[in-house]
Structure 1
Amino acid sequence: MKHYTSGEELIAEIRKRAELFIAEFDDVPASGLHTLKDGVDRTPTQMIAYQLGWMDLLLGWERDERAGREVVTPAPGHRWNRLGGLHSSFYEQWRDASLLRLQEAFRERIDDVVTLVASLSQDELFKPGQRAWASSTPSAWPVAKWIHINTVAPFTSFRTKIRSWKRR
């Protein structure tokens, strides 16, 4: 994982990787949004839905903790070692959305994640143990790492997937 020295650096990387990822969909035809292609494990709609689902969870964990509610990670009824059902719920939620709606929702979530990062202090971002939800697994990562693995990392790897999908 990339090491960030500030929230501003994390925000810049989120915005950069998000825009590179979502711009790849500008030339995906509507007729192909639900098409699986050999060698690519998700459809274009599923690729964006995956990102939306994880950003929604991340934002929800923080919102619930701030409200004093118990946070269940990754989500109620789902376990870390069995995420297939959770991913399927993301795909189902966004199945009928147009590409434009998916892209709008993606950009809205990016703005929400950026707002979250900007609202946190250096300690809250980079020191372990600052949030119960971030300490909910044995790794007890700092919040910044959770944000990175739910934004920058998949935006980068899924950009490769959508580019591969477009070449097939």
Structure 2
Amino acid sequence: MPSYEYSSKQELLDTIHALYLLLDAEFDGIDNTYKDTRIPEVDKTPAEIIAYQLGWLELVMDWDQSELEGRTFHMPAQDYKWNELGGLYQSFYSRYAEYSLPGLRGLLRQSEQRWLAWIGMLREEELFIQGSRKWTGTKEQWPMARWIHINSAAPFKSFRGKIRKWKKHFPAALA
């Protein structure tokens, strides 16, 4: 079974939360003065990793809210196309640039809780049956649960490795 397939909404919720907790713990001990320090082996700084997550969690929930309210939803975002993700990521980084690392972690904690609450309100059919929302695409596209996985559980897991590599390369940043 692929990692993005879940047997229930509860399994999806539990997986996301467990991976969020593991990711958040990776930031323990990183001194805030190094939040924007980049190393060659990792494509994002610690602050950019969190800003990226904040941006994507917000976007996906906005797609759903826009559809439910009958508004036009823009994918991936207003003024961005799928082949312009670099610019979209830069907009995330700019939006959260002034926050400290503890501040970013607090925002991500709040965003993850909103994310879980949003998923908790969805019916199993909405999550697992393709086409329950227009924004998930046609039947050849992904069910909502896969979009949710790809924008939370998957990067929560992959970013842990990036932060570990960053900390290993830059031990002076550890408080």
Q: TM-score range by the shorter chain?
A: over 0.9
Q: Cα distance, 1:78 vs. partner?
A: 0.9
Letter aligned with residue 5 of structure 1: S
- Give, as a single letter, the amino acid of the residue that structure 1 aligns with 2:115: V
For 2:55, the equivalent position in structure 1 comes to 53
- Please give the residue correspondences for 1:103-114 in structure 2 after superposition, counting only pairs within 5 Å: 103-114=105-116
CA shift, 1:140, in A, is: 2.1
Choose which of 87, 90, 110 in structure 1 pairs with 2:89: 87
7, 19, 22: which is aligned to 1:20? 22
- Alpha-carbon shift at residue 139 of structure 1 (Å): 4.5
Q: Which runs of 5+ in 2 are unaligned?
A: 170-175
- Counterparts of 1:158 and 1:21, CA distance in 2: 7
Structure 1 pair 47–139 and aligned structure 2 pair: CA distance change class (3 A): farther
Q: Distance in 1 between matches of 2:111 and 2:136?
A: 19
Q: Distance in 1 between matches of 2:76 and 2:121?
A: 22
Cα shift readout 1:111-153 (whole Å, capped 9, x = no counterpart): 11111111111110000001111117x8421000000000000
Q: Could you tell me which residue of structure 1 aligns to residue 142 of structure 2?
A: 141
Say which SS state the counterpart of residue 82 (structure 2) adopts: coil
Between the aligned partners of 1:90 and 1:67, the Cα distance in structure 2 is 24
> What amino acid is the match of 2:68?
R
Q: Distance in 1 between matches of 2:83 and 2:113?
A: 30
Distance 1:68 1:139 in 2: 23
* CA distance in structure 2 between the partners assigned to 1:151 and 1:53 by the alignment: 11
Cα 1:121–1:161, aligned 2, differ >3 Å: closer, same or farther? same
What amino acid is aligned across from residue 132 of structure 1 in structure 2?
K
TM-score (norm 2): 0.92
Give RMSD over aligned pairs: 1.2
Listed as ranges, the gaps of 5+ residues in structure 1 are none
Q: Which runs of 4+ in 1 moved over 4 A?
A: none
Using the TM superposition, name which of 25-34 and 8-17 deviates more.
Answer: 25-34
Residue 97 of structure 1 is matched in structure 2 by: 99
Give, in whole Å, the separation in 2 of the partners of 1:71 and 1:93. 20
What residue in structure 2 maps to residue 72 of structure 1? Answer: 74
Distance in 1 between residues matched to 2:117 and 2:33, nearest whole Å: 34
Give the TM-score normalised by structure 1.
Answer: 0.95
Seq. identity, %: 41
Deviations 1:65-123 (A, max 9, x none): 11111111100111112200000000000111011211111011111111111111111
